[in-house]
Amino acid sequence: MTVANQKGGVGKTTTAVNIAAAMADAGLRVLVVDMDPQGNASTALSIPHASGTTGIYDVLIDGVPLADVVVESPHVPGLFGAPATIDLAGAEIELVPLVARENRLRRALTTFLQSRPEGRGFDLVLIDCPPSLGLLTVNSFVAADEVLIPIQCEYYALEGLSQLVKNVELIQQHLNAGLRISTILLTMYDARTRLSAEVAQQVREHFGDRVLRAAIPRSVRISEAPSHGETVITYDPTSTGALSYVEAAAQMRQQEVSV
């Protein structure tokens, strides 16, 4: 599943790492693939990603096996990550002339998942996209079956969404027929404002039951957690932010059963 929205700062990375941690806490084995050169997901999972560290850049450009870069997060057993270094910024350009440039992540993931020893497989792979619609995001869409779109409950929230939907449709037509937008998560929801309620209503009208009932509130604890190299799930497990991500993850597991 890939977490995408070409807008920056809407909660993609926060959602990817916290849903991943909540799923791992519930007993699943989860892999987070960091496809953003900023490496924010790697930071939140305490996975080393200083420039020069072998990471997703090497997987995409030099064909290094994913198995060589995947590391377990020290805070949550069963939660693993493939780090992004700042070198990944160059990959956007370096991918252009390469053979099968849109399929590089998919190939690496398929090889990796197929070669997992008994009992060491993964139940869920979450890919954290950069805030753009370039080749890194295209690789993420081609590698995934499902798209999770976090939508920030603010003015302009819906702007750009039709472009995102259109791009997913283009990927479906040309590169990955199996891709679908399965899940929408409302983030930075403020129950006190009419704006949040209005955005939520519009999103629900448009996407129906693909919108998770759980909405993620704006929470200082959520934004503090990454500076401690943690997700809010371990940083402050009883905070409203942590509980809302746990609830969203539970709804995603039910969603899967009912599909």
- Judged by CB under 6 A, the residue of 1, 4, 12, 235 near ligand ADP is 12
Closest CA to 212 of 192, 190, 186, 194: 186
Residue choice 73, 85, 187, 239 for contact with ligand ADP (CB under 6 A): 187
218 is an interface residue for ligand ADP by CB under 6 A? yes
The closest of 129, 239, 254 to 183, measured between CA atoms, is 254
Rounded Cα distance, 200 and 203, in Å: 5
By C-beta, is 112 or 137 nearer to ligand ADP? 137
Residue 14 touching ligand ADP (CB under 6 A): yes
Place of tokens 């998560």: 185
Name which of Mg ion, ligand ADP, none residue 29 binds, using a CB cut-off of 5 to 8 Å depending on partner kind: none
Which residue reads 């910024």 in tokens?
89
Residues 81-120 that bind ligand ADP (CB under 6 A): none
Give the containing element (helix H, strand E) for 150. strand 146-152
Residue pair 148/2 in contact by the 8 Å Cβ criterion: yes
- Contact range with ligand ADP by CB under 6 A, out of 8-16, 68-76, 195-203, 249-257: 8-16
Residue 22 CB, shortest distance to Mg ion, in Å, is 18
Question: Using CB under 6 A, which residues numbered 113 to 132 contact ligand ADP?
Answer: 131
188 binds, among ligand ADP, Mg ion, none (CB under 5 to 8 A by kind): ligand ADP
2, 40, 139, 231: which one binds ligand ADP (CB under 6 A): 40
Structure tokens at 112: 């990796």
Question: How far apart are the C-alpha atoms of 136 and 53, rounded to whole Å?
Answer: 19
How far apart, in Å, are the Cα atoms of 249 and each of 52, 111, 254?
34, 27, 9
Task: List residues near ligand ADP by CB under 6 A.
Answer: 8-14, 40, 131, 187-188, 216, 218-219, 222-223, 241
